[in-house]
Amino acid sequence: MKIFRALYVSVRVWLLLIGFVLLFVTAYVFPVLFPLVKLALAVFVALCLVDGVLLFRNASERAAFFARRELPDRLSNGDENPVTIYLENRYPFRTHLEIIDEIPFQFQKRDVLFTATLNAHETQTLRYELRPTKRGEYHFGAVNVYAMTVLRLLKRRYQFSQDKQVAVFPSYLQMRQYELLAISNRLSEIGIKKVRRLGHSMEFEQVRAYSRGDDVRTINWKATARRSDLMVNAFRDEKSQAIYCLVDKGRVMKSPFEGLSLLDYAINASLVLSNIALLKQDRAGLLTFSDRMGQLVAAERRPGHLQKILEVLYRQKTRFLESDYETLYTTIRQHIRQRSLLLLFTNFETVNALHRQLPYLRRLAREHLLIVVFFENTELKSLLNNPATTTEEVYQKTIAEKFYYEKKQIVKELQQYGIQAMLTAPQNLTANTINKYLELKARGMI
């Protein structure tokens, strides 16, 4: 029974059978052709038997062919993740292959089909990429390999690497990319701006020799007298500042852009910013909220803290109710006593939506350095850039301009109350957030 379960017929066989039917019909009209058609059918059946013997000569699957799917232990959300299929032909002859990989249903792909040709005892590697857009557990099925001989009449199916489960985490690939660029001081390559330092911090680092261009106000006269040479005090960025990412999980964060929801964009940016903050010797924390409080990770800088933030971000899900900013303010007042940098990832579509939450934002801004990060609608922006040719398009463009203007008005209104605001496209969120953090740090505001 195993043989019949693994036996498949190629398209070529069905075409030949249709041809034989037509030949037999023709032979009915011209009887002289009947012996030739029967001979051709006998040859065809013999070739099928030979093809089957060659394919199934080894009862053991491993002795005839081997395949293996190789993929990371976890996938990065919103990024292209490599998947590799290793093939090894153990037949003593050339084989033609069709490979179907059963990927998770979340990708909604039914065309992951590859073809390959392997010589006797040859190996080959196939590589493709998958881009998940939702966090959670993904289940991979089997790697189905259909092997054929040179005749390509019958197929033998092999199944390998069945039931592989992989978790999709927030974008750790993006985090590593920014981490490497930050360590090598190459953040400007991906849009991170260098901000000119205003003044200097008060955290002393060392006394060193004077160099041309140093601020003469930092000259250390006592050290200069001892060394008989100009010496200056060197200062460094203040460290151990508390940086909190406040992630809104309400219904306003459910909107999708390029496959990812606004919540996932905020989660990816929070992970990258937390890592950059830890590299800058600051303490990173996290707070999630919606109609009720989510999880609070206190700002720390100890080994394994980033992994803790990653695990918390992985479990976050959108709630479809309006977020409660009063509870957010109460929680921050109770648990975050030190003045901190708060980056609030949320979304306001209208000025009225802002006015409902503005009293709580103003209270937070009095006690902490608050940055409200919300998103511009890229679909509206593209609609505004297209010329209107019909009356309907004119109406649509007018409404789009109204909503786009309200976003700009929200930024100005927040700035009037001394609240930092950042309006950004979802795909530029991470770079713009890091820019803002480094700017505030360079200006000594945190």
pLDDT per residue as tens digits for the range 79-113: 999 999 999 999 989 999 999 999 998 888 877 89
Please check the confidence at residue 365 and state whether its pLDDT lies above 90: yes
Give the rounded percent of residues in the chain with a pLDDT score beyond 90: 47
The answer to whether 239 and 282 have CB atoms below 8 angstroms apart is yes
Could you give the residue ranges of the DSSP H alpha helices within 165-220? 172-183
Residue with the bigger pLDDT between 191 and 361: it is 361
User: How far, in Å, CA of 404 to CA of 311, rounded?
Assistant: 36
Helical segments of 136-261, H only: 172-183, 221-227
50 burial via Cβ count (<10 Å: 0-12, 13-18, 19+): middle
172-193+238-442 matches 1-169 in CATH topology: no
Q: What is the pLDDT of residues 221-271, one digit of tens each?
A: 888 888 888 888 776 555 678 999 999 999 889 888 888 899 999 999 999
Q: Tell me which of 3.40.50.300, 3.90.25.10, 3.40.50.410, 3.90.105.10 is the CATH number of domain 172-193+238-442.
A: 3.40.50.410
User: Are β-strands 65-70 and 81-89 bridged in parallel, bridged antiparallel, or unpaired?
Assistant: antiparallel
With beta carbons less than 8 A apart as the criterion, state whether 438 and 192 touch: yes
The whole-number pLDDT of residue 200 equals: 53
Greatest mean pLDDT among 12-16, 348-352, 398-402 lies in 12-16
According to the model, what pLDDT value does residue 247 have?
95
Q: How many helices (H) and strands (E) does the chain have?
A: 13, 21
Contact 292, 327 (CB under 8 A): yes
Average pLDDT rounded to a whole number, residues 107-127: 90
| Domain positions in the chain | 1-169, 172-193+238-442, 203-236
User: Do 298 and 335 contact (CB within 8 A), yes or no?
Assistant: yes
C-alpha Rg value of the chain to the nearest Å: 33
Mean model confidence pLDDT for the chain: 86
Euclidean distance between CA atoms 245 and 243, whole angstroms: 7
Contact 254, 261 (CB under 8 A): yes
- The reported pLDDT for the residue numbered 111 is 77
Predicted TM-score of the model (pTM): 0.79
Reported confidence tier of residue 345, pLDDT bands at 50, 70, 90: very high
Report the range of poorest mean pLDDT among 139-148, 168-177, 260-269. Answer: 168-177
Residue type, 30: F
Question: What six digits make up the tokens of 194?
Answer: 């260098």
Which superfamily does CATH assign the domain made up of 1-169 to?
Answer: Immunoglobulins (2.60.40.10)
Residue 128 backbone dihedrals phi, psi, to 5 degrees:
-145, 175
Nearest Cα neighbor of 290 from 324, 265, 256 is: 324
**Secondary structure letter of residue 253 according to DSSP:** G
Contact call for residues 350 and 252 (beta carbons, < 8 A): no
